[in-house]
Structure 1
Amino acid sequence: MRGSHLLRALKRTFGWGRRQLQVDKHNVILITGCDSGLGHSLAVYCHNALQMTVVSCCHNLQSEGAQLLRQMNSSKEPHRMHIWALDLLQAESIELVHEQLVKLLETHKDYQIMALVNNAGVMCFGDFEWQTPEQIELQINCNLLGTMRLTRQLLPLLRRQGGRIINVTSHCGLQALPSLAPYAASKAALRSWTDALRIELQPHGMEVVNFIPGSFVMASNIAARQQQQAQQMRENFTREQHDYYDGYFERFHGYLRILSGFKAPNQLRDEELLSKFKDALTNVQPWTIYIHEPWRYRIYRYLFWICPAPLVDWLTIRFCAMPTFEDSK
């Protein structure tokens, strides 16, 4: 038994026997966070390029992204794109998605669920002292606990059908960034949970993959409510915090104003990213982690790894390139 574990580990380490599975409309993929950004683009890619049956979970069924996905169904193939509501903060919503998925598989006996892609997430910029308890808890509840609840609900079905789990994490899970402390904490926890889950599920023939796609803040709505969040922070300041932080606070959120406002869903044209996602989805022996990043990210990540903590702190500030408290003095 131990020998077989060792052989499997060696195969994965050196990539022996890696090959791609063929996918078609009989393979079902469930993706969360499809209103915009990466989730929306992956749903389009899996539907159009891979010809899969896609369950696109959206937070708002009336969003522009949900409506665009709905239009992809044709009279010839009316059942390959499903748009379902999902609120990771609501247990009933998670249970309903499970019920709908079971019904879909029972209705189409030749369908098989191939993957759950946990992509949905929320983000709030601001120093930890500024963020309200509600903002902090929302990021932990959605990014980590909600993802865990959905996965736990679907896990028996995934196990029976040999499906895999792809968790979209973040560079923040590798190197925590200032002004994103709760978000980074949620993504670091998600990464550790992914690693543990991978080891647990290997004996059951299941794959669990950590997928780090790079930054999509400008191409998604993950920070669309940043100015509203800033107003909530400001309203919860004490008089002492106003006196101490107001100048820095205004400069910081003025810099981030470009992030606010809901953007039209963008279909990513990044072929390298989509190629990595396809490998994570269809390779018989996927890598445990896929990292998509520009050279700047790669260089910084290497420096973070080799440098002592004081230098890493300085490099992190340079990497973020955002207003700092010292600059506001």
Structure 2
Amino acid sequence: MGALSKSECWEWLFLFNMGLNHIKLSRILQERERVSINKKKVIIITGCDSGLGFSLAQYAADSGFTVIAAFLNLDSKGAKEIKRLYGGYIIQIQLDVTDIKSIQSALQSMEHYFNKNPDYSLHAFVNNAGVMVFGEFEWQTPRLIQHQINVNLLGTFRVTNAFCPLIRQHKAALSSWSDGLRVEMAKYGVQVTTIIPGSFVGESNIMGTQIQNVQEMHDNFTKEQHKFYSDYFKRYNIYLSYITPPKDVHKLQDKSLYECFDGALLDNPPHPVYKNEPWRYKIYHFFFKYSPVFLRDYLIEKFMQMPKYKEDNRPENNKELSCICSI
């Protein structure tokens, strides 16, 4: 990587200042009217067993909304803790986003709830359920890959598809994944908002199965992969072992996260995207977007700070290798 020329340095300084001005302008534009909060406005949140969902369910209830919290397991620590703290004040339902029957059952429960409480309306539906597997792509088994797609992508599709009629009937603000969905639903009076909550892996159970995932990857390596990755695979997972899931579920202590959540729920109209990230992340993401490829790759490595593969271990015939992907 060569040194930047004087003209390139000025160009980077210009882009950096533009980025800061964009951030300032965004803050000014974020000041909007707020809708009122009351118990007749209902928020449904998926993935409340731990982490973000567990915290947002409590925050929304404390703010004055009626909250319906969906749990993968009603016997999970998160479900039991919310029941202990809130009793029936937070309504609990079971929902497995990978299971069509579970989704339909949850939908029927919601339809029954609103039929029984006709003066209540669905204010927001928060798609939050998700899983995470740390590991390089080659290490991950077909089952691990399929599970992530099944929960994080297809699960969101399934739940939103099933709940669309309910969402349309109540004209809710929807936290979801797609700009396309925002355009599609706008003609029905439904507002789609995306929240990027930031990183809090150490305070969530999203890595609760990482040890089992690592074992599965290791057990499915070929002899060549065991030889190629041995030391790197060990160092990589020792590094990750320090990011351990919490022993007890607890509410996240992040003021800016809840400010983002408030904005998505209360701004009239809401912004398409709300981000909760420190200044370091803002600067990194700005440069990720506008930097040349060689600098972007360097910044990504610095941002991730993962253990490096020792090139001395690389087989001689793999010293020079290109991978070409066509899109």
* Residue correspondence of structure 1 range 220-239 to structure 2 within 5 A: 220-239=204-223
* Residue correspondence of structure 1 range 106-145 to structure 2 within 5 A: 106-145=115-154
Q: 1:259 to 1:306 in 2, by over 3 A?
A: same
Matches of 2:102 and 2:308, distance apart in 1: 40
Matches of 2:95 and 2:230, distance apart in 1: 37
2:73 aligned residue = 60
The answer to whether the Cα contact below 8 Å between 1:36 and 1:264 also exists between their aligned partners in 2 is no
Cα deviation code 1:181-220 (max 9, x no counterpart): xxxxxxxxx4xxx100001111111110111010011110
* Residue correspondence of structure 1 range 39-188 to structure 2 within 5 A: 39-48=53-62, 50-73=63-86, 78=88, 80-167=89-176
Matches of 1:143 and 1:160, distance apart in 2: 26
Quote the offset at 1:17 in angstroms: 9.5
1:179 aligned residue = none
Q: Structure 2 unaligned runs (5+)? A: 1-25, 314-327
Matches of 2:165 and 2:50, distance apart in 1: 29
Matches of 1:36 and 1:16, distance apart in 2: 29
Larger Rg: 2
Quote the offset at 1:108 in angstroms: 1.4
Cα deviation code 1:268-298 (max 9, x no counterpart): 2212210111111111211111111011111
Quote the offset at 1:72 in angstroms: 3.3
Matches of 2:104 and 2:224, distance apart in 1: 45
Q: 1:16 to 1:139 in 2, by over 3 A?
A: closer
Matches of 1:16 and 1:223, distance apart in 2: 33
Q: In structure 1, which of residues 318, 322, 325 is the aligned counterpart of residue 302 of structure 2?
A: 318
The answer to whether the Cα contact below 8 Å between 2:203 and 2:245 also exists between their aligned partners in 1 is no
Secondary structure of the residue aligned to 2:186 is: helix
Letter in 1 for 2:286: Y
Matches of 2:40 and 2:246, distance apart in 1: 34
Secondary structure of the residue aligned to 1:247 is: helix
1:255 aligned residue = 239
Letter in 1 for 2:281: Y
Q: 1:328 to 1:222 in 2, by over 3 A?
A: farther
Matches of 1:257 and 1:296, distance apart in 2: 24
Percent identity between matched residues is 40
TM-score, reference length from structure 2: 0.84
The answer to whether the Cα contact below 8 Å between 1:227 and 1:260 also exists between their aligned partners in 2 is no
The answer to whether the Cα contact below 8 Å between 2:30 and 2:271 also exists between their aligned partners in 1 is no
The answer to whether the Cα contact below 8 Å between 1:225 and 1:261 also exists between their aligned partners in 2 is no
Secondary structure of the residue aligned to 2:190 is: coil
Letter in 2 for 1:133: P
1:283 aligned residue = 267
The answer to whether the Cα contact below 8 Å between 2:68 and 2:90 also exists between their aligned partners in 1 is yes
Quote the offset at 1:262 in angstroms: 5.1
- Cα-Cα RMSD: 2.0
1:9 aligned residue = none
Secondary structure of the residue aligned to 1:115 is: strand
1:33 aligns with 2:40: no
Letter in 2 for 1:22: S
Secondary structure of the residue aligned to 1:72 is: helix
Letter in 1 for 2:307: P
Cα deviation code 1:28-55 (max 9, x no counterpart): 111011111111110000011x211111
Letter in 2 for 1:300: Y
Quote the offset at 1:261 in angstroms: 4.6
Q: In structure 1, which of residues 182, 202, 217 is the aligned counterpart of residue 186 of structure 2?
A: 202
Quote the offset at 1:16 in angstroms: 9.9
Letter in 1 for 2:272: T
Cα deviation code 1:283-319 (max 9, x no counterpart): 1211111111011111111111121112111110110
The answer to whether the Cα contact below 8 Å between 2:131 and 2:152 also exists between their aligned partners in 1 is yes
TM-score, reference length from structure 1: 0.83
Matches of 2:308 and 2:31, distance apart in 1: 49
The answer to whether the Cα contact below 8 Å between 1:112 and 1:161 also exists between their aligned partners in 2 is yes
Quote the offset at 1:86 in angstroms: 1.0
Letter in 2 for 1:29: I
1:22 aligns with 2:36: yes
Secondary structure of the residue aligned to 1:125 is: coil
1:177 aligned residue = none
Matches of 1:119 and 1:158, distance apart in 2: 16
